[in-house]
Amino acid sequence: MIILPITRKLPPKSDEKKEILIHIGGYYASKEPAVIHTLLGSCVAVCLFDRPSGIGGMNHILLPGNADLSHFDASARYGINAMELLINAIMTSGGKRNNLKAKVFGGANLLPNIAREHRMGDKNSAFVMEFLKRESIAVAGKDIGGRLSRRVYFHTDTGEVFLKRIHSIYNKNIAVREEKTLSRIREEAEKESEFTLF
């Protein structure tokens, strides 16, 4: 992992690699060399890569756990869904599950006045680390917690990550965006489902 100084410009764009931006609830995997990037606050991104095949991918998790299927929500913004969707996308592209290594980023606590037991960044980080341990996926690197936002650039073919920590001047905007998404999810979950599961 390479940490870029706050004052340095972002890594140069690569003419040879496709660049993919993922947002909250997004994921992407590729067998072609690509640079996947995202911006994290309390959310967590997991970069998975199979070095022998050069296949890798990344997700962007908003919430730990799994979706409430009674409301027919299989979104990748939930931890279980995001991890399974990413693993399946890598395997569908030709990667092997037993070759997977992980790098984990995010889980910041942007709002310091929130009680520890309610900090979403801590909950997201704990969920991901437990999931990887349970699934026997080795963690090759991590940068989680703290109070700074992070911009992450993941090279799928090499597993290399460029990380830029962002000072708190930007944290409020990221926290507001994450809170709006979380509120929208809660509203959707409270609506009556139009589907019946059997």
Q: What is the per-residue pLDDT across 67-86, written as a single tens digit (0 to 9) for each?
A: 554 544 455 566 788 999 99
First to last CA, the chain: 46
Residue type, 146: G
pTM assigned to the model: 0.76
User: Which pLDDT value is given to residue 176?
Assistant: 66
Domains of the chain with CATH codes: 17-190 (3.30.1330.200)
Whether 106 and 174 have beta carbons less than 8 Å apart is answered as no
pLDDT of residue 67: 55
Give the full edge-to-edge strand order of the sheet including 149-155. 2-4, 161-166, 149-155, 34-40, 18-21
Evaluate if residue 195 carries a pLDDT over 70: no
Q: Is 81 helix (H, G, I), strand (E, B) or coil?
A: helix
- Cα–Cα distance list, 173 to 21, 92, 152, 167, 198 (Å): 18, 36, 17, 12, 42
**The pLDDT value given to residue 119:** 80
Query: Buried b / exposed e across 17-54, counting CB within 10 Å, b at 16+?
Result: beebebebbbbbbbbeebbbbbbbbbbbbbbbbbeeeb
Q: Which stretches within 70-170 are classed as H helix?
A: 79-92, 120-134
